[in-house]
Amino acid sequence: MAGEVLTAISPSTGQPIITRNEVTEAELKQLPDTAIKAFDSFRKTSLAERQAIVKKALLLITEKQDDLALELTAQMGRPIAFTGKEVSTAVLRAEYLLKVSTDVLKDTEGEPQKGFKRFIRKVPIGPVLIIFAWNYPYLILVNSLIPSILAGNSVILKPSPQTPTVVEQVASIFEKAGLPKGVLQYFHCGSTSKMATLVNDPRIAHICFTGSVASGLAVQQAAAGRVVGVGLELGGNDPAYVRKDVDIDWAADEIVDGSIFNSGQSCCALERVYVDAAIYDDFLAAVQKVLAGYVLGSPFEKGTHVGPVVSRRSAEAITGHIRDAVSKGARDLTPANSTFDVLPTVGNFVKPTLLADANHDMAVMREETFGPVIPVMKVASDEEAIKLMNDSEFGLTASIWTKDIAKGFELADYVEAGTVFVNRADYPAPDLAWTGWKNSGRGATLSRFGFEQFVKLKSYHIKDYPK
């Protein structure tokens, strides 16, 4: 039975731009069969062979950077000035994983014992299903794809229907790089029941999901009847605390960027800003000054800073959070700006919005807004700031902004988040574990620890034969 036609709608124009046929039931059933057969062969390749394939693929991705960037701008709306940076950053991230793979995947020797050879080997787990989101598709994908292939697994990719060409480009590139047929497959799907069928298939050895909390919980529930690993990278409502000793203009510039880059459509965007009362008014004025210099408009114009959000539904959710905040006492202090004041008549454009006097009664401070909104709340002390930062169901990242690095480091110990920045935000470093606390996720990608979900441990205990 044929699947439905999936249509990607342009965030910029609201018009259909790409259609793909959803995977059929027969095709869905074949994916694990092919993955198992490919895995049985690919697992026997050497790490050096797999590293050579990945290295060549990264070179090919770099050669196609401009084309890939243009596709991203068309499909998810990020300004063309920035989409190429995602592709190049994805390559740099993958190069780090490639660099450490020899050491990470080597055997771990047991304690020396005469007459015995004892060690632990990291062996591939089998077919890996990777379900990934549209907002940073190349960055999200390399987190799981690269260590999975380096470990010797086969992979099945499921992209967002909003950015369907990403998997097609990646699969083509890896094929040209020499990856054996069947090791990397993909399918297009918008059906929850079909996804559950694949998640439940006993031939799938591990599932990686990146997306919303609700969708992640659905994947976890679908896998609940199996003993299978499920890695979840979910949402965030990430806080920033601005102490009174900062350079206010510098902090404002950094925080605006961390809040509204990619139209705020990042799981680790700054979504709550707590500011010391002593500098509160000055900070708000500095943010207004920064925002006044931003340009909202067509993502295909190189001078555009802020493009559309991904969908009309998303735009309505974001503006709903803004209305809720204002109705509960927040002040909209967004500066006058010709590109904000008259929004394009087509597309899903939401102006970057500065909300003063926010509080935790407002949805914008409790839920993931996923849009270009900067809610700011006044605090009286470090203690109050930390308490409010931790008052959340989420725990992906958090940031502290201060000239007193020692104090920032001290406060970081009390923040409940997988990554705590001091004087930085919205930057998953490839050598540090990317992991969510609370409802922000489970498991880890990136760093040396990012390989762990793609291997299983096998202990070898060999005794010399008696003479």
Cβ–Cβ under 8 Å, residues 229 and 236: no
From the list 233, 254, 367, 452, the catalytic residue is 233
SS3 391: coil
Q: What angle do CA 404, 258, 207 make, to 5 degrees?
A: 110
Q: What angle do CA 57, 189, 18 make, to 5 degrees?
A: 75
Q: Residue 151 contacts by C-beta under 8 Å, 6 or more apart in sequence?
A: 105, 122, 124, 125, 451, 454, 455
The residues with which 342 forms a beta bridge, in sequence order, are: none
DSSP secondary structure string for all residues of 116-156 = EEEEEEEEE-S-EEEE--SSSHHHHHHHHHHHHHHHT--EE
Cα(249)–Cα(252) distance, integer angstroms: 5
Q: Which of 178, 165, 163 is nearest to 51 (CA)?
A: 178
SS3 435: strand
SS3 120: strand
Cα(86)–Cα(264) distance, integer angstroms: 15
Cα(320)–Cα(365) distance, integer angstroms: 13
> In this structure, what token pair is assigned to residue 258?
């961390």
One-letter amino acid identity for 163? Answer: T
Residue with tokens 């935000």: 425
Pairing of strands 434-435, 444-445: antiparallel
Cα(283)–Cα(51) distance, integer angstroms: 48
> In this structure, what token pair is assigned to residue 341?
């004041």
The answer to whether residue 233 is catalytic is: yes
Cα(337)–Cα(296) distance, integer angstroms: 9
Residues of the chain by 3-state class (helix, strand, coil), percent to 5: 45, 20, 35
Cα(88)–Cα(62) distance, integer angstroms: 7
The residues with which 442 forms a beta bridge, in sequence order, are: 232
SS3 61: helix
| Positions marked catalytic | 233
